[in-house]
Structure 1
Amino acid sequence: MSTFFSCTRYAAFALSIVCSAIIASAAVWNLSLVQELDLGYPLDTYLTFLGAYGIANVFIVVSVELTFDRPFTARVWFECLWVLLLLAMNLAGAAYFTTHSPALCSAHGRNVLGNEGCTSNQVLMGFTWLNTSLLFLYLALLVVLTIVRAGSEPQVWSTYIRDISTPGFNKLISPSNARSNVAHAPRQVQVTEEKRPNVPIISIPKPKPRPRRPSSPSSGEDPIGGLRTYYDVEAYPHDPQRHGLASSTILPPSDIPGPVFYSQHMQTMLTLPQTAAIRDRDSQGRTTGPRKSSPPPLGLWPRMDAMSQPIRKRETPKESEPLPPLPSSSDSGPSPRRSLESPPTSPRDRPGGPRRPSATIPKPRPPPLDLSKGKTRVQPIVINTYQ
């Protein structure tokens, strides 16, 4: 409703400005025609002033309201006052113009000016009544809304025009009205108490605490199916055997002298024992043997007593005896090549009997090359050794 009232208000202002401008223009036109007939017609002067006053009044009210936040010109009583004044002025001019027949529409005026004078009178009369009707409708709407609000809000006439139809209108009233409402509040409470003296008091029972159920191995599960709304956290069971086993574990000594040539990091690594004694785990007297440790991945290195060990000489393998030279044949001049064989890695059986020399085939030498002759082609000599 606030949007509807604001749109109606500004639309009425716009139409009032248009009607006032037309009234002022038609009054000036009609006054110029009356002067040609040498007639005294003061109503045209009044209507010219009325049109100019209506335009100026609307422009001033709207500009002041837009410039300042909450001026006194935007209050309900001031709005009703200037609209009522402008309505009365327009109603008086329209009524006087209608009751007195204008001279321009007479026979003498039509003979002198023609239909032009009568047309100006009709335009002036029509827009005067239109402006009067528009102002009357706006004033009636404003007064009706104010009277409706005045029943519940006595200070409605002092409020601002923009808040007259908003839902939070009762919050914008003056402090005096708020004090009056507070003063009336206890009286209303007393009246309501007198009307209903035998109202029973309902006592709300306090909720009983939920019984705590004993914990079970499946305390977090519902016997019907799924998880319950709550669950209990079980305590950690105390095992005395594990506690005794943990306390009976023998820890290695912390200070063991190590070799000087190792760093501190290596000394701490070398001082860890390879085996640890574990006491009896069973309370009935059963004992277990010492735990066997796995062999170290690097063997006995590094050795703690490396400096105290005696120096051992490594035995070098004996060289194998050279084989006897093979007998040379009388046919061939040069001696055959000696075969070099690697010493046997393992003993093997030797054949018995006297040793026989291996058969050798003499290789002939090529004839000496004679370089004194010209280019000679040396023919290769092919010897068949398998004859």
Structure 2
Amino acid sequence: MGTTFIVYLYRYYLFAITIVSNAIICSAAAWNLPIAQSANLPTQSHVDIYMIFLGAFSLLVVIPLVFTDAFFQRAITGHVWVECLWIDFLWLLHIVGSVLVTTLLPRDMCTPQVKSVDGNSCVSSKLILAFSWICTINLFIYLIFLVASAILHHKRDSSVWGAQVRSYPWYLHLYRHRLASGASLPDPLHRHQVHLPAPQPRRPIQLPTQAVPSSMHAIEHTLGQQRPGSPTTESRMLEARPTTLTSLYPLHIQAAWEAAEDSGPSSGSEGSANLHSPTFPQQHLRRSIADGPLPLWNWPRADIMSLPSRPTAARKKSPTAAPSSPVVEHPREPELGLSHSVSTSVLPTEFHV
């Protein structure tokens, strides 16, 4: 890539120096032509005309090529064979003009007779001579380099003549060969080799697989000891626990029933036994269900105005001589607010009914 960049730079340098040199040659020849005609020098006049034509023609060729190469990357004018042709043609024209200027102009235009006509005749002749040789030498160097490089690369790549001059990888094989040869040589900065220990194989550690039983093994072992037919302790407790519906009542009423159940029913009347028996809530619940559905079971509630009126039955009078029953004092519990007073007042009403 370094050689390609050098070719790229020298190519545009050649374009720039050719444009500048031919512009100066054309101007100096146009300046020198009237002096040669005034001094009656027809040969020098013809040389000046040729140099004017050469400068103008070179500008008309190089300037369009520069713009075409800058804006079109794959233009035909950038091919190797096309560039070799037009550079060779310009070099031949410039070498002829340089030889003519060298042999004719300074010898005749720098004489005292011509200087008497115009004192700047020698300056214009030397200016044409200098820039004609500058342009000729640069064209020749670039032409030799381009043709020689194309011939050398043709042995490796036959398509080099049709490739673009600025994008072709010139002398890339030399860089590859240099890198390949430099890789085999030791680094002079690091003369002392570092001896590293040879790697030793390490076998993986085999852990004992039966040292600790897994969780699944422990579960299978415990499950195997239990009898499938024997009930567990928790199931026995659940079976022994009575299924009552005391959870529908407040906590202080449930505590009172449990205390009465522990003390046992006395040998009193049947009403007192029914009061303290745990089946009383069940009987009350069955009676309330038979009377009618609870409000929560018949939701949403029907409109009370649309319901038919129910006949009210006369209440029976309670017997006057009711057997006396011993009064059981229940332990006083902390007051629970409004729910305590309401729930305690409901219990006697349900008993008389």
Q: Paired residue for 2:65?
A: 61
Q: Given that residues 35 and 117 in structure 2 are in contact (C-alpha distance below 8 angstroms), is that contact kept between their aligned partners in structure 1?
A: no
Give the partner amino acid of 2:116.
Answer: N
CA distance change for structure 1 residues 251 and 30 in 2, over 3 Å: closer, same or farther?
Answer: same
Q: Given that residues 146 and 164 in structure 1 are in contact (C-alpha distance below 8 angstroms), is that contact kept between their aligned partners in structure 2?
A: no
1:121-143 deviation line (CA, Å, top 9, x unaligned): 11111110111001111111111
Q: 1:237 aligns with which of 217, 225, 228?
A: 217
1:26-74 deviation line (CA, Å, top 9, x unaligned): 1111113223334431221221121122223222112112222311111
Deviation at 1:92, TM superposition (A): 0.6
Q: Paired residue for 1:201?
A: none
Q: Paired residue for 1:28?
A: 30
Q: Which has the higher helix share?
A: 2
Q: Paired residue for 2:5?
A: 3
* TM-score, reference length from structure 1: 0.50
Q: 1:159 aligns with which of 163, 166, 173?
A: 163
CA distance change for structure 1 residues 160 and 246 in 2, over 3 Å: closer, same or farther?
Answer: farther
Structure 1 distance, partners of 2:154, 2:245, is 109
CA distance change for structure 1 residues 257 and 217 in 2, over 3 Å: closer, same or farther?
Answer: closer
Q: Paired residue for 1:172?
A: none
Structure 1 distance, partners of 2:124, 2:95, is 19
SS, match of residue 28 in structure 1: helix
Q: 1:139 aligns with which of 140, 143, 160?
A: 143
Q: Paired residue for 2:245?
A: 259
Q: Paired residue for 1:281?
A: none
Deviation at 1:159, TM superposition (A): 1.1
Q: Given that residues 257 and 276 in structure 2 are in contact (C-alpha distance below 8 angstroms), is that contact kept between their aligned partners in structure 1?
A: no
CA distance change for structure 1 residues 212 and 308 in 2, over 3 Å: closer, same or farther?
Answer: farther
Is 1:110 equivalent to 2:115 in the alignment?
A: yes
Give the partner amino acid of 2:217.
Answer: P
CA distance change for structure 1 residues 262 and 120 in 2, over 3 Å: closer, same or farther?
Answer: same
Q: Paired residue for 1:309?
A: 276
SS, match of residue 42 in structure 1: helix
Is 1:99 equivalent to 2:103 in the alignment?
A: yes
Deviation at 1:240, TM superposition (A): 5.9
CA distance change for structure 1 residues 240 and 81 in 2, over 3 Å: closer, same or farther?
Answer: closer
SS, match of residue 163 in structure 1: coil
Q: Given that residues 256 and 330 in structure 2 are in contact (C-alpha distance below 8 angstroms), is that contact kept between their aligned partners in structure 1?
A: no
Structure 2 distance, partners of 1:50, 1:262, is 124
CA distance change for structure 1 residues 42 and 211 in 2, over 3 Å: closer, same or farther?
Answer: closer
Give the partner amino acid of 1:93.
Answer: G
Give the partner amino acid of 2:21.
Answer: C
- Give the number of the structure with larger relative contact order, counting CA–CA contacts within 8 Å between residues 6 or more apart: 2
Q: Given that residues 19 and 128 in structure 1 are in contact (C-alpha distance below 8 angstroms), is that contact kept between their aligned partners in structure 2?
A: yes
Q: Paired residue for 1:19?
A: 21
Q: Paired residue for 1:75?
A: 79
Question: Which structure: larger Rg?
Answer: 1
Identity of matched residues, %:
27
1:198-226 deviation line (CA, Å, top 9, x unaligned): xxxxxxxxxxxx9996835669xxxxxxx
Number of residue-to-residue matches in the alignment: 229
Give the partner amino acid of 2:117.
Answer: V
SS, match of residue 217 in structure 2: coil
Structure 2 distance, partners of 1:55, 1:88, is 16
Structure 2 distance, partners of 1:211, 1:107, is 106
The unaligned stretches of length 5 or more in structure 2 are 174-202, 261-273, 278-326, 333-353
Give the partner amino acid of 1:215.
Answer: P
* TM-score, reference length from structure 2: 0.54
Deviation at 1:107, TM superposition (A): 3.4
Is 1:120 equivalent to 2:124 in the alignment?
A: yes
1:309-363 deviation line (CA, Å, top 9, x unaligned): 38744799xxxxxxxxxxxxxxxxxxxxxxxxxxxxxxxxxxxxxxxxxxxxxxx
Equivalences for 1:198-213 in 2 at 5 Å?
A: none
Structure 1 distance, partners of 2:132, 2:331, is 145
CA distance change for structure 1 residues 57 and 314 in 2, over 3 Å: closer, same or farther?
Answer: same
Give the partner amino acid of 2:276.
Answer: Q
CA distance change for structure 1 residues 315 and 10 in 2, over 3 Å: closer, same or farther?
Answer: closer
Give the partner amino acid of 1:112.
Answer: V
Q: Paired residue for 1:340?
A: none
Q: 1:215 aligns with which of 185, 200, 208?
A: 208
Give the partner amino acid of 1:50.
Answer: L
Give the partner amino acid of 2:52.
Answer: T
Structure 1 distance, partners of 2:331, 2:15, is 130
